[in-house]
Structure 1
């Protein structure tokens, strides 16, 4: 990997560990997303990966107007930055129902959309929204096998019908996430998408045939982005594409995205032969995968221990690496890694030029 894009010219002023972001690579990824969908009309990027208002501003500047969020805070960040259409793709239960109302009241110019997967929640949404004089477009969230959220295809028709009949809500379409379709072979992944979505397409066609409006059909994530883009009736909602990571570089080699984030860490000790201790602990890096991070300058490095504030790696020739030396890493899973940092250092032409706040890492901004 070319080290010129992530290496800082002046490292001494940067505290470690640090999250580095490279705007020119972010912009390149945005342009490539738009090329895949042939423009912004069918693109509804998820902001859960970056959680930064500055990245949203870049996406808005590219012509993107629709977005997807997983938290109220992300939705508020989007509205505050100028997004026109925000889909909150997360069940509205507990206090989040009232927070959603407050969000719509605070940003009346924004179209906020909701999802639902259970009739009992739908009734609460209808009661709450109608009480406040709101009419919220609501999408049925479908479970395609991930078994996380979403109703079954058998339950979806009745739920959609209820949305059309209850006050305070109206049909917004269908939402389907396919995060379990992660075959490394592209053709196998594409075949799996076609198989899984065939009954969804039949449901959509049945709804339309029976007189229901289905304004949006929001599908997929980053690994299946290019596949869904081939279908003109689908909105695509990739998230990781804008920053990319080592995990998806490994999984989805066929897509043209590039990492726009790097981790900056230092050697703090040499605990043994061929061992280095870095200040890149579990509080600075996602631990939901065994690989965790790749060090492009040291491809033979292997993690042997990982503690809250320390990472011990095994590396041939480690004894020759000076204490205090800076290393750069590409996270295996960028989304939860970004959320561990309050800010990202902006790097342009190898120079640190300020910071961007990871604003929506908060559970609450104002609402």
Structure 2
């Protein structure tokens, strides 16, 4: 098992791809990426560390996902940001003013579903990756028959304890009159996928909820089967990391010799090696490890362990890792709701988007007056 240490190096890393031992199944589900919300003007030092000169502010989408099972059952993974975010708990809205966050939500996910003809009434359950404000949306806009599914420890921390904070929590309207189902990972449907305990949600191998603690109590990721023969999967990372530069490169996904940058409407090859070596060494980071690490979490040791487990999944060419705040997904080549993303593998999206974040970093540095050698 590879575990990332504080300086971005790895211990017990033997290199190469591991076998995730995903159980076989003949059932896949439809996955649709929903993009209705963003978080703008986030200071980068509030999210990841150590700083990169010239990269000071971060703006990103807040994605969620519609999962449709062949049986007709429908679940949502996350709800992004509620449209009336000013009605969040006062501690949260005060933090927006203090830190400078600028939430933007075009509409609630429930509205999008109604407008599209899917209908919020058809949703059997909402799965929260975790209880932070940019993921919980507005559960009160869903009918009482829509269950709320949460991760290990959620009820003790948020329902019976005082888990609410300036990062999130729950409102009474989120849970009143509906079933709150906590996945304890002691259920008989739990298997091991890679190093993650994985709950077989539909009991047919199509959707697994992954126990991925650290960022927040009860944090969940999901591994969703998008095709069979061959098997392909989307890994929904929630906030296991906020940025691809927190888990790439790794010993499973090394930095390539050449990447393609889009500049002035042209695609230009760029050799990132020497630039990345310099930027890592100047910040006492491993040139073969990620650019950043998260700067906060409920339990930082668990944060780093979860990232290590996610890197193992990222090393499988049949797994497409999508973070909730991944700017790379706002590419014109990415199908968004109401279109499914199931054919991501045949379209080459897993490969195409893996290193887009480097181009984003370079552009930001240049915009802020930093000279980037080789660009």
Structure 2-normalised TM-score? Answer: 0.31
Q: Which protein has the bigger helix share?
A: 1
Structure 1-normalised TM-score? Answer: 0.31
